[in-house]
Amino acid sequence: MARRLIIVTGASSGVGYATVRRLIVSEGASVVAIGRRRMFRIESLASQVEPGRLTALTGDMASRESANALIGQVVEKFGHVDAFAHAVNRALKHTALEVTDLEFDLTMQVNVKSALYGLQALAPHFRRQRKGVVVIYNPTPAETAAFVAAEAVYTASAHALSALTGGWSRQLDPHGVHVYEVAPPPVTDNALALQAPHDQLIVEALRQGFFFPNTVHDPKADAVVVPRATAPIPTVVKERGGLRLTSY
């Protein structure tokens, strides 16, 4: 992915930061890292690579005004964007019966609208380019009895984001823009130790979009690829260590 420009959101910590580091260190990509807080680790990483390969921007993707400004700043400075990896995700623990309007709206704002604002700001540029890759990181928590009571609102946001991802793919695919969802399914504690790192799956999804956009992968037969046009919708592109990569 050398010389490709990739925007990564949620980059100040967690999976977002790990994705930036993997893209910079292992893939040779150029990255614009966006985070809501000042990104000390990103700034430290930027000081260790060639000037211009890693740009840190601070702003809130859950604000439409801020998201538009951030994306506009990137397009104005670089003239193009090759990919958008959205890793803004926050698990807010609220029971379904006790959640307040403020808590419910905050969950949807952070987990769903941040992606919505980013895609709406980038879509016109991707359409003009007639190419692009979008990866939405959307971990799906285990729906145990305790979980359903404690984090059902988070689950609702995850399902909403998944539905939007499918819609974005159908709208953007005719313009040469390929959309993927990286969604970890429920796993046991034992399986968790074997699970591939989430940032690795995000990078693999980006690679799929750049180099194999018109094929899907059948996890039951590694050598078989199915033309995108004839694949079921949605289709599991890749499954490894408990993580699912879905193509629509």
Report phi then psi at 109, rounded to 5. Answer: -65, -45
Tokens found for residue 204: 């693999």
Task: Give the three-state DSSP class for 190.
Answer: helix
Long-range contacts of 43-49 (CB under 8 A, 24+ apart): 45/20, 45/21, 49/24
The pTM is what? Answer: 0.82
Q: In what order do the strands lie in the sheet with 30-35?
A: 54-58, 30-35, 5-9, 83-86, 132-137, 177-183, 243-247, 235-240
Question: Over the range 56-78, which residues count as b (16 or more CB within 10 Å of their CB) and which as e?
Answer: bbbbbbbbbebbeebbeebbeee
pLDDT digits 0-9 by tens, 193-222: 455 688 999 999 999 999 988 655 443 333
pLDDT digits 0-9 by tens, 89-138: 887 777 788 889 998 999 999 999 999 999 999 999 999 999 999 999 99
Residue-wise DSSP of 20-67? HHHHHHTT--EEEEEESS--HHHHHHHTTS-TTSEEEEE--TTSHHHH
C-alpha–C-alpha distance, residues 185 and 156, integer Å: 15
Report helix, strand and coil shares of the chain as percent, to nearest 5: 45, 20, 35
Per the CB < 8 A criterion, the answer to whether 53 and 24 are in contact is yes
The pLDDT value given to residue 150 = 65
The pLDDT value given to residue 151 = 77
pLDDT digits 0-9 by tens, 143-196: 556 666 667 888 889 889 999 999 999 999 999 999 999 987 655 555 544 556
